Amino acid sequence: MTTPDPMTRRYFLGLGCERGTDWNDVRLLAERALQEGGIEADQILAIASIDTRSNEKAIVETAAYLRLSLRFFDAATLERETPRLKNPSELVFARVGCHGVAEAAALAAAGPIADLVLPKIKSSFSTAAIAKIG
């Protein structure tokens, strides 16, 4: 197996989930996000999420399954991404203190001139989004 050129790794996969979500729910949604975005796993730099999910088994195991590192951001950092979100949520804000997790985490990881290439998609218990480095 060859190591992909680092320049092809131009994307961040943002993930969010409810506490205790089965890892298959998150894994299947992550795979669906890659498919819908037309992106291969080896084009992803890392998975990004909110820091309160840093020990969430479903996210950690999905990252291990995809062989990706994890990056976590606090709610205040994710909240600063709100103007760039395609799907801000008052419900998410009430629960975690930011208007989105998957989209905001992907954008925060990808940087200030990043774009969402896949806005938030949802399963029953998780969310995913993909941002491309600008």
How does pLDDT run across 116-125, given as a tens digit for each residue?
Answer: 999 999 999 9
Q: Structure pTM?
A: 0.93
Given the candidates 3.20.20.80, 3.40.50.300, 3.30.420.180, 1.10.150.120, the CATH classification of the domain at 6-124 is: 3.30.420.180
pLDDT digits (tens, 9 = 90+) for 64-96: 999 999 999 999 999 999 999 999 999 999 999
Report the b/e string of 90-122 with b at 16+ CB within 10 A.
eebeeebebbbbbbbbbbbbbeeebebbbbbbe
